[in-house]
Structure 1
Amino acid sequence: MDWKIKRYEELSNDELYNIIKERINIFVVEQDCPYPELDGKDNLAFHLFKENDNGEVIAYARIFHNGLYYDEASFGRVIVKEAYRREGLGRELLERAITFLHGELKETTIKIQAQDYLREFYGSFGFEPISEVYLEDNIPHVDMLLTK
């Protein structure tokens, strides 16, 4: 169960299918939030993910250079499959995403759109709120920024 990071065109059909399947399972089904999960930006992103021995995606985030999603670098669609939560995968996922952005992509500022209930979690990595709480798809969100 190694971590992988791939550009869109490097993903196999099965990897892409399993990533999208798990994103829909969490963001649309689990959170009971019908919205267009496929937003036309996957082809611009790096895809950081971990699979279990059966090839199921158990943790995932997509990562963007600055200027592709926000003026700043960004990551989003952060998920951990329900059966694997509370095992530290979310923390490891964020550490890897931030390290990749700072180390490999040489980005110094990262902006994210966080669900408000995760504000403290993201804050533990140094992210600070830069907006008031607002509704996105009827879920409270806050914009947050991390500057190296």
Structure 2
Amino acid sequence: MPAEPALTSHIARTVELDPLTLYQLLKLRVDVFVVEQECAYPELDGRDVEPGTLQLWLSRADAVVACLRLLTDPADPAGGGPVRRIGRVAVAADERGQGHAGRLVDAALAIAGDQPCVLDAQAHLTALYGRHGFAVAGPEYLEDGIAHVPMRRPAGGASNDE
């Protein structure tokens, strides 16, 4: 049996992406969020083309298998200046359970450094993000019929519970 192709990490601003890579990133997000989770919403929300937006992804044999985007919001929901926002974390169905999302979150947090970071997690994934220093920062809410919770990792990276 041939060895599985190696996993490769990538980081780029959206404007730096070649068309095929951009297509694969957007297709994975649509496959997961719109098709699999049956949420008809505007996946192309304009935030990917903001100047500071970074795309982080993992590929295997030139195929995107997991991705996230890292944004800069102008104001921290907890008050204060800019905050980094992790979003659009998606992993291909046949690649789940291998730690890909955690690997991408680690890479995004390395970029964020000591800046506070926020995300809106699907409620069943709060433990995943909790392992990365995020704590629930508000009440659960429904978005497209899926329970979500706001989560925050304060400046310096320690969770609010430490």
TM-score normalised by structure 2 residue count: 0.83
How far apart in 1 are the matches of 2:67 and 2:137?
24
Rounded Cα–Cα distance in structure 1 between residues aligned with 2:73 and 2:115: 10
Give the SS at the match of 1:114. Answer: strand
For 1:26 and 1:116, how far apart are their aligned partners in 2? 16
Structure 1 counterpart of 2:88? 77
How far 1:50 sits from its partner (Å)? Answer: 1.1
- From 6, 9, 15, the equivalent of 2:15 is 9
2:145 maps to amino acid: N
Taking the aligned partners of 1:21 and 1:118, their CA distance within structure 2 comes to 22
Distance 1:108 1:79 in 2: 23
Deviation, 1:68, is 7.9
What 5-or-longer segments of structure 1 have no aligned partner? none
- Larger Rg belongs to: 2
CA distance in structure 2 between the partners assigned to 1:108 and 1:46 by the alignment: 15
What is the match of residue 86 of structure 1?
Answer: 97
Q: Structure 2 CA distance, aligned partners of 1:101 and 1:48?
A: 13
3-state SS, counterpart of residue 58 of structure 1: strand
1:140 aligns with 2:151: no
Q: Deviations over 1:58-79 (max 9, x none)?
A: 1100001241896421110001
1:60 counterpart (58, 67, 85)? 67
TM-score (norm 1): 0.90
Amino acid aligned to 1:5: I
Give, in whole Å, the separation in 2 of the partners of 1:61 and 1:130. Answer: 21
Deviation, 1:136, is: 1.1
Within a 5 Å distance, the mapping from 1:96-107 to structure 2 comes to 96-102=107-113, 107=114
| One-letter amino acid of the structure 2 residue matched with residue 40 of structure 1 | G
Please, which runs of 5 or more residues in structure 2 have no aligned partner?
A: 1-6, 157-162
Quick one: structure 1 residues 15 and 124, their matched pair in 2 at CA, closer, same or farther if it must change by over 3 Å? same
Q: Secondary structure at the match of 1:73?
A: strand
How many positions carry a matched residue from both structures? 143
Q: Which residue of 2 aligns with 1:46?
A: 54
Distance in 2, Cα, partners of 1:115 & 1:62 = 16
2:115 pairs with 1:108: yes
Distance in 1 of aligned mates of 2:48 and 2:121: 18
Matches within 5 A, 1:123-134: 123-134=130-141
